[in-house]
Amino acid sequence: RGIGPWRASNYYENYLGYVAAANDRTCLIMQIESAAAVDAIDDIASLDGIDVLFVGPADLAASMGLTVGERHPDLTAAIERIATVAAKHGKALGIDATNFEFFSLFREMGFTFFTYGLDTSYVLDSARAASAQLRSLMKAKR
């Protein structure tokens, strides 16, 4: 991470205090996004200071030669392996839940930290919906 103390140090009012405590107050998340990372997951999870193992399923699938977005048994097995090792080492689990259909499965595996979607997608979806509604309203006046 960068030092980035602007807001965290109360706009430099407590810079030295921020620097002294930053590492203890920082959550370290390791992204697991390749077949090689899955192969080394026990070594990765055993490292001190790592708080969360975060799975990027799209990149992981691509790394495994699988079609991104498909629920492939090999991808599920890799994610289950990560979950098992995380539990063994007391690490929290995170994942990019690219599809709500997978959410329950991930919860059952022990995942508690989820991301979903992209800020740009949310903005585009809202803009498209507003545009469609405006077009509909414009047609209604004719």
Record the tokens describing residue 129, joined without a space.
């919906």
Residue 131 has pLDDT above 70, yes or no: yes
Residue 117 has pLDDT above 90, yes or no: no
pTM over 0.95? The answer is no
Q: Tokens 């991104």 belong to which residue? A: 68
Give one word for 52, left, alpha or beta, with left for phi > 0 and alpha for psi -120 to 50.
beta
> What type of residue is 79?
I
Residues 65-80, mean pLDDT to the nearest whole number: 94
pLDDT score, position 44: 98
